[in-house]
Amino acid sequence: MKDKFISVLAHDLRGPVAGQKSLNSLILEDYDNLDDAKRKELLADLKDSSDNLYNLLENLLEWSKSQSGKTAVTKEKVYFEKEIAPLISEFQMWANQKNIALNSTLINNETVIADKHLTRSILRNLISNAIKFTHEGGTVSVSTEKFHEADKAFLKINITDNGTGMNEEKVQSLFKPEKACSTNGTANEQGTGLGLILCKEFAGLQDGKLYVESTVNKGSTFSLTLPLHE
């Protein structure tokens, strides 16, 4: 598995590095023949490539820390609605740019036992992915519900979209490091391929779980469960 994972990483790293190399060469060789608008366009492309590479390395570092037991976890009483509302606001502008309705239906005043920093990281990733894979004019919704399992109470957070969806084979490979690969979004947004793997790791570190249900061309629902504070 480790050999396969390294191979996948090498492939994902080669893409943005090769892109940067080509863009750098193009800018340097044709600089005097390019107008200001074209220079800005190429520099913007270079920045996007750099951002994607940085995000990949950041995710790789976080995954490595979680695998070696070095991820710090602070479980405490967290008012969930207070934590999630600002996150939704963070993504509102991006959703508006894609003409996507971003809605939330949250149970008021529920508290969970969780690490708020890891929880924010998970939810940022899930909301970002939902918008990324939803077509213009689509809908992304965030909702919560309570349930019991083995005499314990949990809060389930559902992030649902009506976007591209996935087949069963893709769903089964989502959380396997050796099969990690990035997929472009509906507006050609790029990813790192490690985000969901980190989400599952971070959920487990908080005694939570991460589930996914998806249908091709109908959308996906990612569900995070966290223990309720009672």
Q: Is the pLDDT of residue 113 over 90?
A: yes
Are 110 and 176 within one domain? yes
Closest by CA position to 8, among listed 177, 184, 198: 177
For the entire predicted model, the pTM comes to 0.73
Range of the domain at 32: 2-67
Using 50, 70 and 90 to split pLDDT, how confident is the model at 199?
A: confident
CA distance 32 to 37: 13
- Rounded Cα distance between 216 and 163, Å, is 8
Band (121; pLDDT cuts 50, 70, 90): confident
Residue with tokens 């939902």: 130
- Lowest-pLDDT choice from 43-57, 133-147, 177-191: 177-191
C-beta separation of 134 from 101 below 8 A:
no
CATH no. for residue 102?
A: 3.30.565.10
Indicate whether 189 and 152 sit together in one domain: yes
**Domain end among 19, 47, 67:** 67
Same domain, 169 and 131: yes
Mean pLDDT in residue range 192-208: 83
Q: Are residues 103 and 150 in the same domain?
A: yes
Closest Cα partner for 62 from 184, 209, 171, 192? 192
- Do both 105 and 200 map to the same domain? yes
Instruction: Report the number of distinct structural domains present in the chain.
Output: 2
My answer on whether 102 and 19 are in the same domain is: no
CB atoms within 10 A of CB 127: 24
Distance (Å, rounded) from C-alpha 173 to C-alpha 179? Answer: 6
CATH of the domain at 51: 1.10.287.130
Q: Which of 68-82, 113-127, 140-154 tops mean pLDDT?
A: 140-154
> How far is the C-alpha of 175 from the C-alpha of 189, rounded, in Å?
20
Rounded CA separation 173/166 (Å): 11
